[in-house]
Structure 1
Amino acid sequence: MHDIGLKMPYFLSATLTFKPSQSFILGIVIGIIIIAVILMVRRYIAATSKLRKIESKQETFKNHYYQFLDVLPVGILGLSQSGEILLRNYSVKLLTGIEIQGLKDIKDMNCFTESQLEWLIQQIKQPGPNREMQVQIKTTTGIKMLLISVNVPFDQDPDLPSAYVLIQDQTKEKSMSALLQQQDKIEKMNQLSAGVVHELKNPLSSIKGYIQMLDRRLEDPSFVKLAMSVLPAEIDRLIIMVESMLNYAKPNALKKEIFDLKKLVEDVSRFFKIEMSSHRIQLKTELEDTLVFSSVNGIRQVLINMLFNAVEAMPAGGIIEISTKQVGNRVVLLVHDNGSGMTQDQLERLVEPYYTTKENGSGMGIPVSNQIISELGGQLGFESVLGAGTTVIIEIPSVSSEEGI
């Protein structure tokens, strides 16, 4: 009988063995890897620390930047192309009276009229600098005159606003300009007083003569009939002259209407007869019958300013020529003198406020005239040759037959 014994399982085992030189190299490699990991971790920590410092500095700069924007006296709006407000400063609130917290879109600025908002929305979509619009708004502190300027960079940065709107307060400047303009008017009225008196004297003399003869010829039907036709006409003539000068003297808005430019030029020219005669100046006119759509008072003021400039340019006397001509849909009014003329530098600076070459000049006559003509949809230009004279070119919108006139 044989003994049956249990066999123990047989396990294979493998043992890695390294030579001493190989173990040393492996140790070096592992050490290098550990050192590299430690260096990377340190660099990461250092970079993270620097990044945090940069972010902190950026946040500080950002806060200082916004504080700087808030102390500027100019209102600033940064907009997207769709009109979303991305940036605003505190001066926007001070100038417009609108609460800027929660202000999200340009359309929410209810200080502007619908047409003004449409203009702004249109302008922020067109690249280019300094498109300007003057507006008058009512705030809790009173009426303000604001200059709105739109600037759209040609090169757009996706991280920055695509358009910037600047809001400037021009209330004080407008008030000072209006005061100087009024003073200038009064001075010119004083200079024209002799011509005004002369023009008033003629109808007054006629009226006086008829009144003196009334008691002697009251029973004469033909004289009474003549007097009843002449006297009202002379009185109307007086009223028109007085009203025209009163309208010139007082501040008023530029109300547009249709009127005869030839008649206006003739009326203004009459008041200058005494002034020109005392300066040995001859006035020549070549006027067409032209209807214009503009402001009577505005054009009268501009013409008076230009005629005074022409008279002052000819201290030794000379000739002033006034003419009109139709050019397309505009009437061109020309005032030419053969006086001292101007240099190119003087010509380029004519429309600058307060610029003058006269000893007692205000420097406001031409800038104000330029503004008036611009607001009336026209253009004011000058041509001059030193020692040969100056021509003033005033372009005014005409009234065409298509408009039913």
Structure 2
Amino acid sequence: MAAGAPRIFVSHLSGVAVFDPAGDQVGRVRDLVVMLRMAQRPPRLLGLVVELATRRRIFLPMTRVTAIQSGQIITTGVLNVRRFEQRPTERLVFGELLDRRVTLTETGEEVTVLDLSVHQLPARREWEIDRVFVRKGRKGTAFRRAKGEALTVEWTAVTGFSLEEQGQGAENLLATFEQLRPADLANVLHHLSPKRRAEVAAALDDDRLADVLEELPEDDQIEILGKLKEERAADVLEAMDPDDAADLLGELPKDEQERLLSLMQPGDAADMRRLMSYEDRTAGGLMTTEPIVLRPDATVADALARVRNPDLSPALAAQIYVCRPPDETPTGKYLGTVHFQRLLREPPPSLVSSIVDSDLQPLDPDADLPAIAGFFATYDMVAAPVVDESGSLLGAVTVDDVLDHMLPEDWRETEFHLDEEEVATDGS
């Protein structure tokens, strides 16, 4: 960015693509690293936290940024791919400075930080934060945005950034990352401090938090759940996929399991107990209890309407299961499966019972992981029915659950092993 160019608000840098000189994408910006300075001097912008395609987060010094333009960042092309580790003197802009309550020096009024702007110093490859966008009035909550005058002030016009804040909000941090997929937001949470992680989790709504929890490592799941009030923890577990919720419950002490189960809706609690009764790495332990179930007299139009549900994962939406009443798991007699592609080829008024695939053998709830993986590989399936000895459908196993359990236990935290020396992004 040339000297004299306009300032850049940091919220505009969240998720921005980073490219090398050849135009190949290196990764995306996930945070900015600054160093606070004494005597009210504006903080120096040290560099960017960049997430590579491998999910590894690295540090990109500002001295290696050659341009910030049109929603993209250009680098010199040489990166140190050593994993980013925050130093005690460093602060993360998104993770620690946004949503902070600071004080206007002139009036002593408390304000909330909404955004910060950075600019490049003349004739040097050095950057600093120069202005702060704040809102007057009370701090907002997860469900109500604060109202009040918003204004931009010089960095020197506020104090309070160097203090450890006990009740920092998360409203503006969440707004910065609102477009992220759950897995990417989970990655953001994983790299925050425990204090900040709890604040962000508290500000997420139940459904969003449930989606994010499903993507987090086990230790983070337990930590976050443990910091929620028990009533809310039960609500979040109900919003999770039943198999993921059961896995998380299974990691908690027995007395805590029972307290949370007692706070759930009876039907949801019954599903949890049923899933927890199976061994972890069996079809019964891996299945979800909420597949698409239809009666034989349902039409293709009915089936397509159910498949269109945006809350269904692609794997669960890939097929429906035709069963006799009752059509809640465990169902009446399981009759067979209808694949999504077959539904697209049939007239809407046709009955699903006329196109059911009854030749494919379902999984036994006690089938172990190798048998399940072999089933998916043999029949090129993305989901499979789980049926008990009486012929009732208990649930369905999806391919993502199989992969979760076949990968190493710490796969969410483990990234590709890259050379930790200075390497050029073009592989040279």
* TM-score computed with the length of structure 1 as normaliser: 0.24
- Identify which of structures 1 and 2 has the higher relative contact order when contacts are C-alpha pairs closer than 8 Å and 6+ apart: 2
* TM-score computed with the length of structure 2 as normaliser: 0.23
Instruction: Pick the structure with more helix per residue.
Output: 1
